[in-house]
């Protein structure tokens, strides 16, 4: 998904063409398609699994609010950013943010596959 932001940025910088806008639309379509069947549903599964039972409701509500706030900020900032810098740079910035998100998940979000909610909570308690 990071590549769906970075590739059009790089290609647009290297090849100046009138068809670059079709390329951007194509890569945005790819991003939405891949996001829809990977990160989007997993976000809500992980939120329901990683918080301890004692705070799960409040923490899930906070996580949901932060998710929607992030979506709102992307929609708000994208036109402002494209007004002040080239689209290539804006897409590269979002690609880097996407890559940082992947790294965060890789190193900080626990694997929950094949574990019960109690096992996940117990493992989190022992790591503190």
Q: What is the pLDDT of residues 5-41, one digit of tens each?
A: 888 888 888 887 766 778 888 888 998 999 898 888 8
Q: How far is CA 9 from CA 38, 43, 83, in A?
A: 23, 27, 16
Q: Which residues contact 82 (CB under 8 A, 6 or more apart)?
A: 90
Structure confidence at residue 106 (pLDDT):
93
The verdict on pTM exceeding 0.85 is: no
Structure confidence at residue 20 (pLDDT):
73
Structure confidence at residue 128 (pLDDT):
67
CB 93 within 8 A of CB 80: no
Structure confidence at residue 10 (pLDDT):
84
Structure confidence at residue 18 (pLDDT):
67
50-89 core/surface letters (b: 16 or more CB in 10 A; e: else): bbeeeebeeeeeebeeeeeeeeeeeeeeeeebeeeeebbe
Q: How confident is the model at residue 43 (pLDDT cuts 50, 70, 90)?
A: confident
Which domains are seen in the chain, by residue range?
A: 2-127 (1.20.1250.20)
Radius of gyration of the chain (CA): 18
Q: What is the pLDDT of residues 49-106, one digit of tens each?
A: 888 888 999 999 999 999 999 999 999 999 999 999 988 899 899 999 999 999 999 9
Reading the block at residue 13, the tokens are: 């910088």
Q: What is the pLDDT of residues 106-117, one digit of tens each?
A: 999 888 888 888
């Amino acid at each position: 998904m990071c590549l769906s932001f970075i590739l059009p940025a790089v290609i647009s910088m290297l090849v100046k063409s009138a068809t670059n806008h079709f390329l951007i639309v194509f890569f945005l379509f790819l991003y939405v398609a891949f996001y829809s069947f990977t990160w989007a549903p997993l976000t809500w599964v992980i939120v329901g699994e990683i918080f301890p039972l004692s705070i799960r409701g409040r923490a899930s509500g906070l996580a949901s609010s932060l998710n929607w706030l992030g979506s709102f900020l992307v929609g708000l900032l994208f036109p402002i950013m494209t007004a002040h810098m080239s689209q290539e740079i804006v897409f590269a910035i979002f690609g880097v943010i996407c890559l940082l998100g992947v790294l965060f998940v890789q190193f900080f979000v626990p694997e929950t596959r094949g574990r019960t909610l109690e096992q996940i909570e117990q493992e989190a308690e022992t790591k503190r």
